[in-house]
Amino acid sequence: RRLQGDYRQIAGSDLHTDAVDAHRQIDVRQRKRRQRRTRELFAGGRHHPATLNGQPGLKHPGRTIREGIVGVGYSTRVTPDEFLSFFSPLLKAGAMFYRDGSGALALCYLADGRLVGYIEGHINSWDCLGAVAVIQAAGLHINDFLANDGLRKGNRLIAGNPAVYAELLEIYGDG
């Protein structure tokens, strides 16, 4: 099964992502994300290390959100006021941010060391679970996305290396 990212529809861009494989609840074994324009294939899962085009990804050296760029997701299912209340604490903590329209691709960039963290107030499971497997395979931390029926209803998503993840949890809490 293939799932298409939303950046192409939003911006009329040729940037495109595919999630290859179907999701199995909880047992995320292996997922792949492909960024067609640059021919990058991000892969990883349980018992499969995170890779980019078959090579191990890099680890971002940043230990705080001020030592790198945090990917930020946004969905129109979240009101502007809700988004700003979620986004504002990140800026107040001194972080810089990145947004391109594809949460899954941004998560793969995190797994590959291009970003130091990722936050999104609400994302659907079909838009991120392939990349969640890559994040986990890269040894990064991520909140329990499937909690509270996240598979069907979506959930917020917070991810980063252990130090950055802990800092993001300090800003946003567990819930």
Q: What is the pLDDT of residues 112-153, one digit of tens each?
A: 999 999 999 999 999 999 999 999 999 999 999 999 999 999
Q: Which of 9-18, 45-54, 153-162 has the highest mean pLDDT?
A: 153-162
Q: Read off the tokens for 95.
A: 């972080």
Report the pLDDT value the prediction gives residue 38, as an integer from 0 to 100.
65
Q: What b/e readout covers 17-47, taking b as 16+ CB neighbours within 10 angstroms? A: bbbebebeeeebebbbbbbeeeebbbbbbee
Instruction: Kindly provide the residue ranges of all beta strands, DSSP E only, lying in the chain, ordered along the sequence.
Output: 2-4, 17-20, 30-35, 40-45, 48-52, 55-56, 69-73, 96-98, 117-123, 141-142, 155-160
**Cβ proximity of 141 and 151 under 8 Å:** no
Residue 101: its pLDDT value, please? 85
Average pLDDT across the chain, whole number: 82
Question: Rounded to two decimals, what is the model's pTM?
Answer: 0.80
